[in-house]
Amino acid sequence: MYALSSQKKYWTFKTEQELAELRLAQNVRFIAKHGAGMTEEQKLAHFLSADEERQLLKQYESHMKEFCKKFEPPMPKYVVGTAFHYFKRFYLNNSAMDYHPKEILATCIYLACKVEEFNVSIAQFVANTKGDRVKAMDIILSNELLLMQELNYYLTIHNPMRPIEGFLIDIKTRCNMKNPDRLRPWIEDFIDKTFLTDVPLMYAPSQIALAAVLHAASKEQENLDSYVTESLFGSAKDKLPVLIEAVRRVRSLVNNTKLPTKELFRFLDKKLEKCRNQENNPDSQIYKQRMKKMYEDEDDLDAMGSSFHMNVSDASLEVSQLNTTNPANMTLD
């Protein structure tokens, strides 16, 4: 249940201001760490501001939506929703300058496929990407544990798709609307647009679902006001004002979403390439040296483990031989 979920307890926020403050804190932290010795003017010119990061992430969310839309085999909407939750949560705890969005978004989608049991192998997954697929595979797998850690291992996501189905069944039962299924295209379009907003981080799945259904009904020149006030909340009208405000706010956020222009995105993307943390850049020498050292350390541990098992085996053999030749050495503890 959403009401008792980690999503509601840890990952649902009250206001946009709260989210903006979290993102600003990550931006300030990164610049303080990597901009030591720079003047304020130099920092402004070199690093992304919190607002620039937000604009950049919005565009990458748009890329993410298109990737999921074109994915083969076709990706269920609830998997897409889960991936977006992961992506949005990750960048509440991290700066885009620390971990590049194009690398994290692929990992979010891959992890969502696994969690939601949409069974695709890593080879099938990277077959949907362009460029060096071996490199893409390495990046996704190397970021998977990091992503889970940054999500605090809260991986279960409650999406609005199930409440939407519930509303449509209920409308068929308790409304006079003809063919409620004609609302589906409008509903899907609305849900797609929520992925480009902070709506999933602020509202319950049922509130988002109802906003989508009411939006679709208005597009089809249908009025569901009496259904909401009488059928849904006839016996709990004290809760109606809160719901109406939530639905109004969700629809407003969706309708007012704007992506950066192509020119602005290209400018910000180039700026990101210059100011990103090179320790987390798979193309940098620092990253390659760090990974090489990590693999060497793992090889050393494996070698130590093999040596340990060999010594234990040898010792067991010696004890066995000793006990066979001299049974008096056997003891009962």
Spatial distance between the Cα atoms of 232 and 240, rounded to a whole number of angstroms:
9
Predicted local confidence at residue 295, as pLDDT: 66
Spatial distance between the Cα atoms of 285 and 266, rounded to a whole number of angstroms:
25
Domain housing 14: 8-156
Using one digit for the tens of pLDDT, what is the confidence trace for 289-304?
Answer: 877 776 676 655 555 5
**Where among 240, 256, 272 does a domain terminate?**
256
- Residue whose token pair is 């639905």: 247
Task: Look up residue 109 and give its amino acid.
Answer: I
Listed residue (75, 64, 58, 154) closest to 108, CA to CA: 64
Predicted local confidence at residue 283, as pLDDT: 86
Radius of gyration of the chain from its Cα atoms, rounded to whole angstroms: 26
Q: Is residue 271 part of a domain?
A: no
Q: Is residue 118 part of a domain?
A: yes
Spatial distance between the Cα atoms of 6 and 195, rounded to a whole number of angstroms:
20
Tell me how crowded residue 119 is: count the other CB atoms within 10 A of its CB. 9
Number of domains into which the chain is organized: 2
The H-assigned helical ranges of the chain are 6-10, 16-34, 40-46, 50-70, 77-93, 101-115, 122-126, 133-150, 161-174, 184-194, 199-202, 205-219, 225-226, 240-255, 262-275, 285-325
Q: Is residue 285 part of a domain?
A: no
Structure tokens at 190: 């609305």
Listed residue (126, 154, 198) closest to 10, CA to CA: 154
**Where among 201, 227, 256 does a domain terminate?**
256
Residues 6+ apart with CB under 8 A from 127: 72, 133
Is residue 240 within 8 A of residue 249, CB to CB? The reply is: no
- 202 and 100 part of one domain: no
Structure tokens at 323: 């006990």
**Where among 234, 256, 278 does a domain terminate?**
256
- 140 and 164 part of one domain: no
Spatial distance between the Cα atoms of 75 and 182, rounded to a whole number of angstroms:
22
Burial profile 51-65: b = 16 or more Cβ within 10 angstroms, e = fewer: ebbbbbbbbbbbebb
Structure tokens at 200: 């999933």
Q: Residue ranges of the chain with pLDDT lower than 50?
A: 308-333
Q: Is 143 exposed, middle or buried (0-12, 13-18, 19+ CB in 10 A)?
A: buried
Tell me how crowded residue 72 is: count the other CB atoms within 10 A of its CB. 9
Q: Is residue 216 part of a domain?
A: yes
Q: Can you give the CATH number for the domain in which 245 is found?
A: 1.10.472.10
Spatial distance between the Cα atoms of 215 and 198, rounded to a whole number of angstroms:
18
Spatial distance between the Cα atoms of 292 and 43, rounded to a whole number of angstroms:
32
- 119 and 90 part of one domain: yes
